[in-house]
Amino acid sequence: MALPDSTLTLVVGGKRFGGWLETRVSAGVKRAARDFDISCTQRWPGQDARFDIPEGATCEIWIGRDKVITGYVDVIETDRDATTASCKIAGRSKTCDLVDCSPDHEIVEFAGQDIASIARKLAAPFGIAVVAKVSAPALPVAAAHHGETIWKLVERLARQQQLLVTDDAEGRLVLTRLGTESADDSIVHPSDGLKKIGTKRDSSKRFSEYRVKAQAGARWSGVGSDTDEHAGEALAHVEGSYFDRGVTRYRPKTILAEGAAKKEGADKRAEWEARHNLGEALRVAATRTGWRQSSGKLWVPNLLVPVVVPSANIDARLAIAEVHYRKGAEGEICELELVPPEALTPEPPEAPAGAGGGTRWNDVLKGE
């Protein structure tokens, strides 16, 4: 079956530009903004006049009929000598404004609002839509920190509610969780189409015990009364813990929670920290020929992919964290960064706290 067209096209002001010498487009589930850089001669094949694309222009990047970026041109670089002239164009998703800019100084308190409403208020002045693929309860306490960018603020609040924040091909801000869609293809080494594969195990981020300290946001039990002038000054503190039994030596880690919590919430946060760090301890980097799967669909972030690398003792279902579409002397190649789902799962799995996090991946991470 013939795959769909994978020609990369830049659209600016309704005009379509192609014929690139080299291209790179990157997207990731943890990325604030997709980005691209493309290089070309300063004459587009088939055109008599040199094309002129201004920095700051609104643009779109398409791969065949699939839009992959809606954003802005950030940088134009040119090089000339006696016989040639070349140009490099770089840009990012519309969400780049949320990465670079601070919130309106009059919009700093958000107590009692849900994160989707908060994100929409912050993004509205920039003309950026917000897509909430999941719902979350209102935050009892939420405020901007001095000097904090909009992206940092939203990401911090999302982390409290165990959400991922990313962008999409339309340049919208997306609140989501780990995807459930599976890729149409597997990644097996060795196999046709797989040019290179690399694996990395890193135990430096794993700890034997995770201790989370949080403020309960309530009075100490049994301290004073409503009429006691000192009763309101004493706030309860809670602690949660979780053990990663795959770490055999003593390595405790204390974390201060971003917001108020109960004991159950502190335990869940400790569990998530353990499982998240466990997921971060394994990385698989796969380089494939072509940007599409055998079905014709692009490789995209947040897909779940069966990965089999016998030489590295890996046979697991991993998630795509990052995708890089590249074209150069080697032709079209797709670079995939794959991680255990735990690395992209802000929501703690349903498991008893303290039961021993990470047993699912211990054998894989030890190479057994």
pTM exceeding the 0.85 threshold for the entire prediction? no
Please, is 172 exposed, middle or buried when counting C-beta atoms within 10 Å of its C-beta (0-12, 13-18, 19+)? middle
Region 244-252: what's the mean pLDDT? Answer: 94
Written as one string, the DSSP assignment of 221-282 is: TTS--TT-TTGGG-EEEEEEEEE-TT--S--EEEEE-SS---HHHHHHHHHHHHHHHHHHTE
Could you read off the pLDDT of 101-112 as tens digits, one per residue? 999 877 778 989
Q: What is the C-alpha to C-alpha distance for residues 159 and 12, in angstroms, rounded to an integer?
A: 35
Q: What is the pLDDT of residue 345?
A: 72
Please, is 13 exposed, middle or buried when counting C-beta atoms within 10 Å of its C-beta (0-12, 13-18, 19+)? exposed
Could you read off the pLDDT of 59-95 as tens digits, one per residue? 999 999 999 999 999 999 988 777 777 889 999 999 9
Q: What mean pLDDT, rounded, does the chain reach?
A: 85
**Which domains does the chain possess?**
8-93 (2.30.300.10), 98-176 (3.55.50.10), 180-368 (no CATH)
The larger pLDDT score, comparing residue 276 to residue 105, is at 276
Q: What is the C-alpha to C-alpha distance for residues 142 and 160, in angstroms, rounded to an integer?
A: 10
Could you read off the pLDDT of 114-151 as tens digits, one per residue? 999 999 999 999 999 999 999 889 998 888 988 899 99
Q: How far apart are the first and last CA of the chain?
A: 39
Q: Are strands 282-289 and 209-219 parallel, antiparallel or unpaired?
A: unpaired
**pLDDT above 80 (res 113):** yes
Q: What is the C-alpha to C-alpha distance for residues 16 and 11, in angstroms, rounded to an integer?
A: 5
- Count of C-beta atoms within a 10 Å radius of residue 73: 19
CA distance readout (Å), 125 to 41, 97, 107, 120: 37, 10, 12, 9
Could you read off the pLDDT of 209-218 as tens digits, one per residue? 999 998 775 4
Which of 319, 287, 308, 323 is CA-nearest to residue 364? Answer: 308
Q: What is the C-alpha to C-alpha distance for residues 316 and 175, in angstroms, rounded to an integer?
A: 26
